[in-house]
Amino acid sequence: MKKMIISVLGKDRPGIIAAVTHILFEQDCNIENVSQTILQNEFSGIFIVGIPKTLSEDELHRHLDAGLSPMGLHVYEKQLSEADETQTAVESEPFVVVTKGPDRKGLVASITAIMAAHRVNVTNLQALFKGGDDPNANIMIYEVDIPSDANQQTLRRDLRETALALSLDISIQHKLIFEAINRV
């Protein structure tokens, strides 16, 4: 069985997951992972599926597109190579980075540039900008993995300096704190 990753994008409405999975079922595909999210009114879903050897990528695309484009949905597929699966995980510590501050363009780009330079991987990002200067209306929450061999002090310093330049209030906390407090 080959593995494919399928992404579906479009205006949210009831029945999207049902439509996608119905097509996959008809084509004898096996779903391994699904994640979906809705931002404002837009739906985005990612599916990792095993597909039978007899089914080509083109055929799968035709079936999905035929079923989903009438619903106004865009679909994209890519075959997963074995290298993708065997990629070794870097030893890291999980942290949560939170910023609050006045809205402006380039906030996410500035913060993530520092993270990328320190090989910090963003595992989850929630960002909400309602605009304006109210700090509580403009919040970014990054869940990140910081490599164990990264220089934490420089990373923290760089993040704080960047945040200061953007008038952002930044907090960098170990994820275990949030787990200890919020999970029984």
Nearer to another protein, 34 or 141 (CB): 141
For residue 18, state whether it binds another protein (rule: CB under 8 A).
no
Q: How far is the CB of 173 from another protein (least distance, A)?
A: 5
Burial-class residue 25 by CB neighbours within 10 Å (0-12, 13-18, 19+): exposed
Helix axes 152-165, 107-117, angle to 10 degrees: 160
Backbone angles phi, psi at 17, to 5 degrees: -60, -40
For the CB of residue 153, give the shortest distance to another protein in the complex, in Å.
9
What count of Cα atoms within 13 Å lies in the side-chain half-sphere of residue 14? 0
Coil/strand/helix, residue 53? coil
Residue 146: CB minimum distance to another protein, A: 11
- What is the largest distance, in Å, between two alpha-carbon atoms of the chain? 57
Contacting residue, 141, 147, 160, 162, with another protein by CB under 8 A? 141
Nearest residue (CB) to another protein, 60 versus 163: 163
Q: Does 178 bind another protein (CB under 8 A)?
A: yes
> Which residues of the chain form contacts with another protein (CB under 8 A)?
93, 96, 98, 124, 126, 128, 139, 141, 143, 171-174, 176-178, 180-182
